[in-house]
Amino acid sequence: MFNWFQKKKIEYPQFWIDYKSHFQEEDLKIPLKDVTFVVLDTETTGFSYEDDRMLCIGAIKAKENIIDLKSSFEIYIKQEAFNPESVEIHGLMKNHNYETVSEIDALKMFLAYVENAIIVAHHTNFDITMINKALERNGLPLLLNRTLDTAYLFKKTKAINTLLKNDRGYSLDEVCKELNIPIKDRHTAAGDAMLTAQAFLKTLARLNFKQNSTLKSLLRK
Amino acid sequence: MKNTIADRVYDFLKKYPPFDIINKEDLVSIAENVIIVYLEKGKVLFKNDDTKHDHFYLVKEGGVVLKKNELADAEIIDICDEGDVFGLRPLITNDSYMMTAIAEEEALVYGIPIDVFKPIIEKEHNVGLYLIESFTSKTKNPFSKKFAQDFYQDSPANLKSEDLEELQTIKYSKDPICISMDDLAIKAANRMTDYKVSSLIVVDENKLPIGMVTDKDFRKKVVTGLYSSKVPVKEIMNFPVNTYKKNLTVTEAQLALVQNQSGHLVITEDGTDQTKAIGILTNHDIVVSQGNSASGLMKAIRRAKQPKELRKIRQQIAQLLKGYFFQSIPLHIITQIIHELTEAINIRAIEIALQKMPQRPPVKFAWLSLGSHGRKEQLLVTDQDNALVFEDVPEEKYESVKKYFTILSNRVNTILNKVGYEFCPADMMARNPKWCQSLTEWKTQFSHWIHNVETEDILYSSIFFDFNRTYGDKELVQELAHSIFSATDYNPMFFTLMSRSALQNPSPLGFFKQFLVEQDGEHKDLFDIKARALMPLTDMARILILSHKVKSINNTAERYEKLAELEPNNKDFYLACSYAAKSLIKFRTKHGLIHHDSGRYIKLNELTKEEKMKLKRCFKTISELQEIIKLRFKVTQLL
């Protein structure tokens, strides 16, 4: 007889199975210097998780204290939803002349790129939710990666002082300014990812981890 | 595919040598493969003896210091800031690193992958040459040619013939000195002495060369008593003569000299002994042709009879300097060679003047060089600064002795002026009776400067404290130096006032870290590197070294090195000062060579960003030094 209580097993595409295979056993005791971070930024048509869409994903890998340019990732996505108001922020026009890919192809490429790296972004929640919404639309589960937020980590480097009113959110511009990172290509996904990567490395140094610190001690921060 | 990040790296790379001369396509592929290394302050990128990395490095932001090893007091080899390349060893050899690179401040460096870069140097020689220069300037190893060979060993076909000096035609002495075969040996010896040559061509009645006499023949045949000095030269000459055509290449000449072992070749009009001799070629000419022309110039200076000959040589020295400079030979070697040559020109000028005097000097005297020449820092031709001291004489003789030396000084000053050294606008020259005095007068003068300090005196005394004996009696000079040091002994006020004078020029950087430029006059809006940077650094070195009672070191960089030794607590700081002194002199010389002037005034808009940063780094050291001087010699009480 047909079993009404058995959940229907969904067949996921091969690229998702490959992506998921990287998460079989997680080792939080891995030394920090061996952890691969994917620092990313997305450009979207707006700030609504439901109505707006990703136009671009820019990312770069950082490991130990090194950013390898060969690992840079920059993908432009063909989208039907288009919000003219956001054009002013990042200058991505609907009829641009960049090479674009479909949303599902972009996700496929991104998952193959990110594997089980720790995802780092500035206000990570926004970028992760945008990617997750896209995964959902394409009938896929949510991202499995652990995440870090440079806005949060940066605040951790400060002694919170109510008089200074420094217990607040910091924009990427503010963080870059304080960390002496020359601002270039702001509001392009790859440019912001690069700025965020530099901010991440500089913030990490300021958090004064001991020589043999593990991933766990960073995630606990 | 669009790659925003690599585009930015590309934009940065193309601003700096050697990347600025790499074609776009290659540079893009380099940019795409760069790694960016973040270094927190104090982080070691590589250590002495570490195995080689797969990259060499370019500073993107911040500063990296290169040291002999990672110990805190290790010798600093170089400090790299934005746009500087380092860690080039893996590109050139397979050895381990010979130095340690540490982030002096938080830094981002680009790692350029060796495997992507190597094919490019093989294509672009200039890129390789730049890196070799950069590499050797850091390893302090002048044998860059060896590395050039290592670099290009697979592609000798790329070498152009004009690069190979072996294929150049050799220069030889023209208008050779000849003697007739029937003249007496003693006449030949006298002629060789008069002309300061080591050989003569012996000619027959038709003036055709038939043999040679050399120093060696006199030593072997005449002095030993084998022949009398009254025999005709044909008795003692070497023959037959080896004659060669002109336009010999260096290699051919070398070969010929080896084959006939005489050490001298005669060049004739058509290369046979049936035409007249037009030149003589010796081992020495080969040495000269091989780039060591400093020794050739030295010899020419000693032989010069006229100021105009010296003038020509002085111009050749400028050429030599240019050559050395752009070959990146270490500055201390360049200054040493140029100083020796300058010194020789001065000595020769004095000798020429002495020959023209009706009598020999009545008493002992010494010629003193002052200022930059005295400090052995003179690279470009500048004003004359000199003085003369003579032995004390009884009162009744004083007038005539002083007159003799004033006339002599006047002649020397005039000769030096003809050679190309302008008269000093403040007339600080030996021809000025004030600066041509007896030993006792000088002692009184210095004592006056030290004990009754006035502002104008400070200016005088400061250049006089850097005196150096160029010619004449050593003891006179030592005695003078000794009396100066004992006079400064009990006089802290002297140091305070000297310091105040040294601090009168404000720090070269203004409040907004902008260069302070001249406000008005002929040099408006130009940066005066002498007054703003070199003079304060020189003045402060003098004060510190005098306060330690160290005689005999006049050179500013050497003074700071000595101070580093004397004050171990401040070692690093003084070494930075020494580094600043060297790079500022180098800077001034470079600009002087480019603009054919003294290099003193610098147009800021002609500086590259890199140069501005190098300058600023030196200026930071100067400001710190000014603070130290202020405190140590209690200047603040006076300000």
pLDDT for A94 beyond 60: no
Q: pLDDT digit string (tens) for B512-539?
A: 455 666 666 667 678 888 888 888 898 8
The residues that bridge with B570 in the sheet, in sequence order, are none
| Same domain, residue pair B458 and B553 | no
Is the residue at B166 inside a domain? no
* Residue ranges of domains in chain A, CATH in brackets: 31-219 (3.30.420.10)
- Integer Cα distance of B24 and B19 in angstroms: 10
Residue B386 pLDDT grade (very low, low, confident, very high; cuts 50, 70, 90): very high
Cβ contacts below 8 Å, chain A against chain B, sum to 69
Contact B126, B114 (CB under 8 A): no
Is the residue at B168 inside a domain? no
Distance from CA of B63 to the nearest CA of A (A): 14
Contacts of A185 in chain B (CB under 8 A): 4, 8
DSSP label at B569?
Answer: G
B272 touches chain A (CB under 8 A): no
Q: pLDDT value at position B330?
A: 72
CA distances for A74 relative to A60, A99, A112, A150, angstroms: 9, 11, 13, 20
Distance from CA of B8 to the nearest CA of A (A): 8
Q: Which range (B303-312, B389-398, B534-543, B546-555) has the least confidence?
A: B546-555
Residue B599 pLDDT grade (very low, low, confident, very high; cuts 50, 70, 90): confident
Out of B289, B322, B347, a domain closes at: B289
Out of B487, B511, B539, a domain closes at: B487
Q: Do B35 and A68 touch (CB under 8 A)?
A: yes
Is the residue at B435 inside a domain? yes
Of A66, A72, A205, the CB nearest to B3: A72
Of A180, A185, A201, the CB nearest to B8: A185
Residue B137 pLDDT grade (very low, low, confident, very high; cuts 50, 70, 90): low
Contact A152, A71 (CB under 8 A): no
Q: Which range (A14-18, A127-131, B180-184, B323-327) has the least confidence?
A: B323-327
Of B2, B32, B37, the CB nearest to A66: B37
Length reported for chain A: 221
Contacts of B39 in chain A (CB under 8 A): 65
Residue A20 pLDDT grade (very low, low, confident, very high; cuts 50, 70, 90): very high
Q: pLDDT value at position A128?
A: 95
| Same domain, residue pair B436 and B473 | yes
Is the residue at B167 inside a domain? no
Other residues' Cβ atoms within 10 Å of the Cβ of residue B489 = 11
Give the residue from A158, A176, A65, A154 showing the smallest Cα distance to B42.
Answer: A65
Distance from CA of B4 to the nearest CA of A (A): 6
Backbone angles phi, psi at A29, to 5 degrees: -90, 5
pLDDT for B214 beyond 60: yes
Q: What is the CATH number of the domain that holds B407?
A: 3.30.460.10
Question: Hunting for tokens 């045949």 — which residue is that?
Answer: B221
Is the residue at B314 inside a domain? yes
Give the residue from B262, B293, B264 showing the smallest Cα distance to B280.
Answer: B264
DSSP label at B590?
Answer: H
| Same domain, residue pair B464 and B327 | yes
* B232 preceded by a cis bond (ω within 30 of 0): no
> Chain A interface residues facing chain B, Cβ-Cβ under 8 Å?
58, 60, 65-70, 72, 74, 76, 98-99, 180, 182, 184-185, 188, 190-191, 193-194, 198, 201-202, 205
The residues that bridge with B39 in the sheet, in sequence order, are B107
| Same domain, residue pair B469 and B545 | no
Q: pLDDT value at position B261?
A: 65
Q: What is the CATH number of the domain that holds B271?
A: 3.10.580.10
Q: Do A74 and B32 touch (CB under 8 A)?
A: no
Of A65, A180, A194, the CB nearest to B5: A194
Question: Could you tell me the residue range of the domain that residue B126 belongs to?
Answer: 4-159
Could you give the number of structural domains in chain B? 4
* A84 preceded by a cis bond (ω within 30 of 0): no
Distance from CA of A65 to the nearest CA of B (A): 5
Q: pLDDT digit string (tens) for B538-578?
A: 889 988 888 888 877 888 999 999 999 999 888 888 988 99
pLDDT for B124 beyond 60: yes
Out of B421, B456, B487, a domain closes at: B487
Q: Do B4 and A191 touch (CB under 8 A)?
A: yes
Distance from CA of B34 to the nearest CA of A (A): 6
**Mean pLDDT, residues B77-96 taken together:** 79
Residue type, A67: I
Q: Which range (A12-21, A153-162, B15-24, B144-153) has the least confidence?
A: B144-153
Mean of all residue pLDDT scores within chain B: 80
- Integer Cα distance of B88 and B82 in angstroms: 16
- Integer Cα distance of B192 and B204 in angstroms: 18
Other residues' Cβ atoms within 10 Å of the Cβ of residue B7 = 17
The B residues from 229 to 268 touching A (CB cutoff 8 Å) are: none
Q: Do B8 and A191 touch (CB under 8 A)?
A: yes
| Same domain, residue pair B513 and B585 | yes
| Same domain, residue pair B462 and B509 | no
B280: helix, coil or strand? strand
> Which of A169-178, B247-256, B376-385 is modeled with the greatest confidence?
A169-178
Q: Do A69 and B35 touch (CB under 8 A)?
A: yes
Backbone angles phi, psi at A22, to 5 degrees: -75, -10
| Same domain, residue pair B202 and B275 | yes
- Integer Cα distance of B518 and B530 in angstroms: 12
Distance from CA of A191 to the nearest CA of B (A): 6
Question: Hunting for tokens 């439901």 — which residue is that?
Answer: A50
| Same domain, residue pair B458 and B309 | yes
Distance from CA of A1 to the nearest CA of B (A): 55
Contacts of A198 in chain B (CB under 8 A): 36, 38, 108
DSSP label at B249?
Answer: B
| Same domain, residue pair B284 and B307 | no
> What percentage of residues in chain B have a pLDDT greater than 90?
20
Q: Do B38 and A198 touch (CB under 8 A)?
A: yes
Q: B66: which 2 tokens? A: 């290169």
Q: pLDDT value at position B518?
A: 66
CA closest to A189 among chain B residues: B4
Is the residue at B336 inside a domain? yes
pLDDT for B291 beyond 60: no
pLDDT for B471 beyond 90: yes
Q: pLDDT digit string (tens) for B155-203?
A: 333 333 333 334 456 667 778 889 999 999 999 999 998 888 888 899 9
Picking from A57, A67, A150, A192 by the largest number of B CB atoms within 10 A of its own CB, the best residue to mutate is A67
CA distances for B270 relative to B211, B250, B273, B282, B581, angstroms: 17, 18, 8, 19, 55
Of A69, A74, A180, the CB nearest to B2: A74
Contact B62, B81 (CB under 8 A): yes
Q: pLDDT digit string (tens) for B610-624?
A: 777 778 778 888 888
Q: pLDDT value at position A66?
A: 94
| Same domain, residue pair B256 and B323 | no
B637 touches chain A (CB under 8 A): no
Higher pLDDT, B437 or A160: B437
Distance of CA A135 to the CA centre of its chain: 14
Of B8, B38, B61, the CB nearest to A201: B38
Is the residue at B165 inside a domain? no
Distance from CA of B103 to the nearest CA of A (A): 13
| Same domain, residue pair B516 and B550 | yes
B126 touches chain A (CB under 8 A): no
Q: Do A69 and B6 touch (CB under 8 A)?
A: yes
Q: pLDDT value at position B154?
A: 33
Contacts of A67 in chain B (CB under 8 A): 35-38
Of A184, A194, A202, the CB nearest to B38: A202
pLDDT for B152 beyond 60: no
Q: pLDDT value at position B465?
A: 77
Other residues' Cβ atoms within 10 Å of the Cβ of residue B37 = 23
Residue B245 pLDDT grade (very low, low, confident, very high; cuts 50, 70, 90): confident
| Same domain, residue pair B138 and B193 | no
- B499-533: buried (b, 16+ CB within 10 Å) or exposed (e) per residue? bbbbbebebbbeeeeebbbeeeeebeebbbbbbbb
Q: Which range (A124-138, B56-70, B167-181, B244-258) has the least confidence?
A: B244-258
**Mean pLDDT, residues B311-316 taken together:** 83
**Mean pLDDT, residues B448-468 taken together:** 72
**Mean pLDDT, residues B92-107 taken together:** 83
CA closest to A205 among chain B residues: B40
Distance from CA of A139 to the nearest CA of B (A): 28
Q: A190: which 2 tokens? A: 């790859």
Q: B542: which 2 tokens? A: 């003098």
Q: pLDDT digit string (tens) for A198-207?
A: 999 999 988 8
Contact A144, A23 (CB under 8 A): yes
Is the residue at B18 inside a domain? yes
B34 touches chain A (CB under 8 A): yes
Contacts of B6 in chain A (CB under 8 A): 69, 72
